[in-house]
Amino acid sequence: MNQRSRFSPISTLAGLLGATLLGLLTVPLIALILSASTEEVLAGLGHPMFLPALLLSLKTTLVSLGLIIVMGTPLAWWIASSQSRATKMISLLVELPIVIPPAVLGVALLQTFGRQGILGPVLGNLGLAIPFTTEAVVIAQIVVSSPFFVQAAASSFRKVDPDTLIVARTLGSSSVASFFRVALPLSMPGLVTGASLAWARALGEFGATLLFAGNMPAETQTMPLAIFSALESDVQLAVVFSLVLVAAGAALLAGLQLLPFVTTAIKRTLP
């Protein structure tokens, strides 16, 4: 009976569908890895476009991630703990950039910070010009990637047992201290996951950055934009740059998988 059900038409079809998707997810990556020889990789890494783009990507994503954590953590805590009716609406607003195409966000950012944008005159009076600058890259990254952090952090904060915080308060801890000493450590795995996803999204950001910040080497040309530029002249160079981002993503994923083991090991070593 078990043998028959294992090979039923439905399970076979389900298996084929799943295998097709798995193929779509993995074959392009394998193709990418196979398309560059070691010599080509080394040559690509030595290309004048590579280092500035990599450093700009690292610099801007770290700054945007820092700002996302600083601004997103209190927002996530508020979303997770507030009982007000506005919470649901604000939660939806935070998630909106996930479903809006990045190019649209780029246009929206121009309409906000551009010379003709709603904040344009104010910024102009202050002598600030944001579009097509490194700051614009950071803003674009914050807008597209912060929802991933806020969502994960809010979900993690919701799992903190309210009684745990009540106990902390009855033990003499202020609400702020209880947040830092109890809620934050208990939610840390979710926050780390959210921060990693946000960083990965920021690292891969292309559409909003291209429209809002442009593609100027050493100033706004991040790795995805360098891939875009390389593709126009040298496909192999684009392949090498892409492999670097694949390696960064893979390292991040591996780090997230190892995180629980590392945390447990650290706990064991503590006195």
List contacts with other proteins (CB under 8 A): 161-164, 166-174, 177, 181-182, 185-186, 188, 267, 270-271
Q: At what angle do helices 134-158 and 50-81 cross, to 10 degrees?
A: 40
What does the alpha-carbon distance between residue 131 and residue 113 come to, in Å, rounded to a whole number?
Answer: 7
Nearer to other proteins, 26 or 263 (CB): 263
Shortest separation between residue 271's beta carbon and other proteins, angstroms: 7
Give the DSSP letter string of 185-210. Answer: HHHHHHHHHHHHHHHHHHHT--HHHH
Least distance from other proteins to the Cβ atom of residue 160, Å: 10
Q: Which of residues 73 and 146 has its CB atom nearest to other proteins in the complex? A: 73
Closest distance of CB 61 from other proteins, Å: 28
Q: How far is the CB of 156 from other proteins (least distance, A)?
A: 13
Rounded (5°) CA angle 107-111-115: 120
In terms of C-beta density within 10 A (0-12 exposed, 13-18 middle, 19 or more buried), how is residue 224 classed? buried
Q: Which is nearer to other proteins, 4 or 85 (CB)?
A: 85
Task: Find the shortest distance in angstroms from Cβ 188 to other proteins.
Answer: 8
Nearest residue (CB) to other proteins, 117 versus 189: 189
* CA atoms of 97 and 106, how far apart (whole Å): 11
Q: Of 34 and 171, which CB lies nearer to other proteins in the complex structure? A: 171
Residue 214 and residue 132 in contact, taking contact as beta carbons nearer than 8 Å:
yes
How far is it, in rounded angstroms, from Cα 186 to Cα 175? 15
Nearer to other proteins, 22 or 188 (CB): 188
Tally DSSP H helices, then E strands, for the chain: 14, 0
Q: Residue 228 carries which side chain, given as an amino acid letter? A: F
3 state SS of 49? coil
CB of 189 to other proteins, least distance (A): 10
CB-nearer residue toward other proteins: 163 or 232: 163
195 closest CA partner among 210, 182, 184, 206? 184
- At its nearest, how many Å lie between other proteins and the CB of residue 162? 8
Nearest CA-CA partner of 201 in 130, 140, 136: 140
